[in-house]
């Protein structure tokens, strides 16, 4: 759809949504809701078909680099600080060097005050090494005159003698030349050149340069800016016939002869160049940077590896949908089918939003989509459990549905808001691929509420109003009985303390080795072997032992791990090593096993120690801010005893998970931060449902002590709690068994967190509320009833104000 059509459709959907929410007429609500659902779904499908979904580099292949500008030095030795202008200048130059013809789909954006994020989707494996080289070559460029040939050897001896004696020649210095290559590709060392210390002009005076091929061979065309043209001509006037050295970081790259006195800002550098030498020289000339640059982080994925991730994501999504559909149909029968229809519409809206706003789908984003499937069903389970209770109380189907949606709305709204808080904080503070997970989680939460509260309700309106069914049957898995759950609290609290000690002891024992490359720096090379192919770990280790880093040092220790992929029959190999060793190992593996089809694809990620340290700090901030924000929201919505117990149970769940995943063999990474924030949202989700029912039971005043009423409320939600767990776990189990290592890294902590969240909401949070009330002498019943009175007064005041406005 074009922009005009998108605007009209969006306006129509918003208008119908307002009418749907505002009208109390059942027939109007049903018809408007039906058109709203059909229009939103159809427009989402059309948008996805026309615009597609933007894929991250981890899915379509390509590279992402985080580069940092370092303080440089002026000719007089003073430090050149990195400022905003330096970053913008660097981005412009990198664009010219990495995308000279403008044909490459490349994006760059500043990160902080000194860094630049470069994303290059679709880069071929054979181009990656050259891209890395081009970035690393960005350095200080200058033009100086070479000593005249007359008396050259004498001057060279004088400079060498002065250098040996420790006394610098004030006018000349000796600089090495870049080696040349013969026709066989063998490097030929070149003699050092005696050049002037004074710089005639610098790289900042170069506008652009490019390599061309004509009848005379490869040449480099050079165009100067206005200031550079004047300096070039002034130099040529007095130095015609002499050689001018082009110097990058103290190495003479080329030393052409100035054959003219006037160039007018345009020059041609010719010589015995081959294509590689001409292109390299042109690339270096496109470099007016005054601050050196260092690669702090790199992530490279081959197209084959990305396609493998997409295929696995499809299998995992289908498996999650099937498991969820079977579960819901078995428990809720016809109502379960209605929930699945709502889930399908939910997924259509989710993909439509991703496509319309061109959010990038990443591998963690796929995991977020799969998680959304499980969490979307939670709202339906809440409604259906309420529906069962209302039907058992003797209400008609129409009345039971109305009451079920009204009573479930509060818990659905509160639980989704708390999860949304975590997702927003994750989106704002995190970066890179995890941001993709936050996006899909946020959109998924909103679309799931639409699917549960609008889609399923409209379907039930049609079914009930047309008298197609008069009752709904469900399968009961928990008997309608009150258990004294709170009496078992001490045993479970002791068990929690034991597990917590084990978790913390694991982290203490592992120390820094429990941290992945995201936090401590390093490199990870992931390799996908083709189905039916295999390479023994010893073969990888033998190859790695022969390799050397760019500085000539051995690549060091590398750890090889493997995991079978049951979805494709392939084997995933993960190699963890030092930061500088990652690209070397990746290129060696591709060179040895790609051509014969043994290796289907590779992925490499390198992270500098500085980036890792900052990532850990930002992760802790994200987690802390999320917990505080959730606590503040709970204080606003619940009494203090409930808010305090919720946050303690939340800490219980979040703090246990890191140690347990390390105990099961994982290393902590940025992905785990996203998982922990998701766990925080899910844990609070579960706790809110229980607390919401406790408050309702107290307000209803069924009699008995506070302990009895709490036990009754917990047992009323027990069925829902034990049903929600499997629906959320089903997609995660699919990820555990069908996902690749990156998805497994996400699925394991989420699985543990769901189990802990389900457990803590019943056996930790609720007992803590009762314990706090007893210790402080707080009357929960009085607080809850007072809050109810205040709420009723506020509603009456609003109604009175509306009535007064209507009269005026």
Please state, rounded to an integer, the average pLDDT across all residues of the chain.
Answer: 79
In contact, 116 and 109? CB cutoff 8 Å: yes
Which pLDDT tens digit goes with each residue over 40-63?
A: 899 989 998 888 888 877 778 788
In contact, 292 and 139? CB cutoff 8 Å: yes
Over range 607-623, report the average pLDDT.
Answer: 74
Which pLDDT tens digit goes with each residue over 318-353?
A: 877 888 888 888 888 888 888 888 888 888 988 888
| pLDDT at position 808 | 44
| pLDDT at position 286 | 66
User: What are residue 574's DSSP bridge partners?
Assistant: 526, 561
Burial-class residue 402 by CB neighbours within 10 Å (0-12, 13-18, 19+): middle
Which pLDDT tens digit goes with each residue over 708-756?
A: 888 888 887 777 777 777 777 777 777 777 766 667 777 888 888 888 8
Over range 269-294, report the average pLDDT.
Answer: 72
Which pLDDT tens digit goes with each residue over 9-22?
A: 888 888 888 888 88
Alpha helices in 511-608 (DSSP H): 517-520, 537-545, 581-593
Over range 453-478, report the average pLDDT.
Answer: 80
Return the HEC string of 622-686.
HHHHHHHHHHHHHHHHCCHHHHHHHHHHHHHHHHHHHHHHHHCCCCECHHHHHHHHHHHHHHHHH
Over range 201-226, report the average pLDDT.
Answer: 83
| pLDDT at position 505 | 92
Q: Rank 364-368, 587-591, 797-801 by mean pLDDT and report only the highest.
A: 587-591
CA 788 from chain center: how many Å? 42
User: Cα-flanking dihedrals φ and ψ of residue 54, to 5°?
Assistant: -70, 130
Which pLDDT tens digit goes with each residue over 556-582?
A: 778 787 777 655 667 888 888 888 888
Residue 777 scores a pLDDT above 50: yes
Which pLDDT tens digit goes with each residue over 436-448?
A: 778 888 888 888 8
Quickly list DSSP for 223-259: EE-HHHHHHHHHHHHHHTTSBEEEEETTEEEE--B--
Which pLDDT tens digit goes with each residue over 506-521?
A: 988 888 888 887 787 7
Distance CA 215, CA 264 (A): 24
């Amino acid at each position: 759809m074009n922009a005009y059509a998108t605007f009209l459709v969006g306006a129509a959907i918003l208008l119908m949504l307002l009418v749907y929410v505002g009208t109390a007429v059942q027939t109007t609500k049903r018809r408007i809701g039906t058109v709203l659902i059909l229009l939103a779904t159809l427009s989402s499908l059309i948008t996805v078909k026309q615009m597609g979904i933007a894929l991250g580099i981890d899915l379509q292949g390509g590279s992402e680099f985080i580069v940092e500008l370092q303080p440089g030095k002026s000719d007089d030795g003073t430090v050149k600080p990195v400022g905003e202008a330096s970053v913008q200048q660097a981005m412009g130059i990198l664009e010219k060097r990495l995308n000279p013809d403008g044909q490459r789909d490349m994006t760059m954006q500043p990160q902080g005050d000194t860094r630049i994020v470069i994303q290059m989707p679709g880069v071929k494996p054979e181009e990656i090494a050259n891209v890395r080289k081009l970035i690393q070559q960005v350095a200080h460029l200058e033009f100086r005159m070479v000593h005249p040939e007359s008396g050259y050897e004498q001057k060279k001896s004088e400079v060498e003698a002065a250098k040996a004696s420790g006394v610098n020649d004030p006018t000349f210095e000796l600089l090495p030349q870049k080696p040349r290559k013969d026709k066989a590709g063998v490097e030929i060392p070149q003699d050092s050149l005696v050049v002037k210390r004074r710089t005639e002009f610098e790289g900042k005076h170069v506008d652009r340069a490019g390599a061309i091929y004509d009848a005379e061979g490869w040449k480099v065309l050079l165009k100067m800016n206005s200031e550079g043209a004047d300096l070039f001509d002034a130099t040529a006037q007095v130095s015609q016939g002499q050689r001018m050295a082009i110097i990058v970081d103290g190495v003479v790259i080329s030393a052409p002869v100035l054959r003219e006195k006037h160039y007018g800002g345009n020059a041609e550098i010719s010589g015995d160049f081959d294509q590689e030498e001409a292109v390299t020289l042109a690339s270096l000339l496109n470099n007016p940077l005054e601050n050196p640059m260092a690669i702090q982080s790199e992530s490279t994925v081959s197209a084959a590896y990305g396609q493998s991730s997409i295929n696995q994501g499809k299998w995992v999504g289908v498996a999650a949908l099937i498991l969820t559909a079977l579960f819901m149909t078995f428990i809720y029968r016809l109502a379960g089918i209605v929930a699945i229809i709502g889930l399908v519409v939910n997924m259509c809206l989710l993909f439509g939003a991703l496509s319309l706003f061109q959010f990038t789908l990443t591998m963690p984003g796929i995991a977020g989509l799969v998680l959304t499937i499980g969490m979307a069903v939670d709202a339906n389970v809440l409604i259906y459990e309420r529906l069962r209770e209302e039907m058992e109380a003797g209400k008609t189907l129409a009345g039971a549905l109305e009451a079920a949606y009204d009573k479930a709305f509060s818990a659905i709204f509160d639980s989704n808001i708390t999860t949304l808080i975590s997702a927003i904080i994750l989106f704002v503070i995190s970066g890179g691929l995890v941001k993709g997970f936050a996006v899909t989680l946020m959109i998924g939460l909103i679309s799931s509420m639409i699917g549960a509260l609008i889609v399923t309700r409209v379907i039930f309106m049609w079914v009930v109003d047309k008298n197609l069914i008069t009752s709904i049957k469900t399968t009961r898995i928990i008997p309608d009985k009150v258990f004294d759950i709170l009496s078992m609290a001490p045993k479970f609290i002791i068990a929690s303390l034991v597990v917590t000690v084990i978790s913390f002891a694991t982290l203490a024992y592992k120390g820094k080795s429990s941290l992945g490359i995201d936090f401590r720096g390093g490199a990870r090379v992931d390799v996908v072997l083709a189905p039916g192919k295999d390479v023994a770990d010893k073969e990888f280790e033998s190859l790695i032992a022969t390799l050397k880093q760019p500085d000539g040092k051995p690549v060091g220790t590398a750890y090889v791990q493997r995991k079978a992929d049951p979805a494709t029959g392939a084997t995933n190999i993960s190699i963890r090593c030092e930061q500088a060793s990652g690209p070397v190992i990746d290129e060696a593996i591709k060179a040895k096993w790609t051509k014969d089809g043994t290796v289907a694809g590779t992925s490499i990620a390198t992270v500098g120690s500085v980036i890792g340290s900052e990532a850990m700090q930002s992760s802790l901030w994200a987690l802390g801010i999320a917990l505080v924000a959730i606590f503040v929201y709970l204080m606003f919505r619940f009494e203090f005893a409930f808010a305090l117990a919720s946050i303690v149970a939340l800490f219980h769940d979040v703090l246990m998970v890191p140690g347990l995943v390390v105990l099961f063999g994982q290393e902590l990474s940025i992905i785990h931060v996203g998982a922990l924030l998701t766990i925080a949202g899910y844990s609070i989700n579960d706790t809110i449902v229980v607390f919401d029912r406790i408050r309702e039971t107290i307000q209803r005043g069924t009699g008995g002590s506070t302990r009895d009423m709490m036990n009754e409320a917990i047992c009323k939600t027990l069925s829902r709690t034990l049903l929600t767990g499997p629906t959320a776990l089903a997609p995660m189990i699919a990820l555990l068994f069908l996902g690749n290592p990156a998805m497994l890294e996400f699925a394991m902590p989420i699985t543990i967190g769901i189990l802990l969240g389900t457990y803590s909401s019943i056996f930790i949070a609720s007992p803590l509320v009762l314990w706090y009330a007893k210790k402080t002498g707080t009357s929960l019943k009085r607080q809850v009833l007072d809050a109810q009175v205040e709420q009723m007064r506020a509603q009456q005041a609003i109604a009175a104000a509306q009535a007064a406005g209507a009269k005026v």
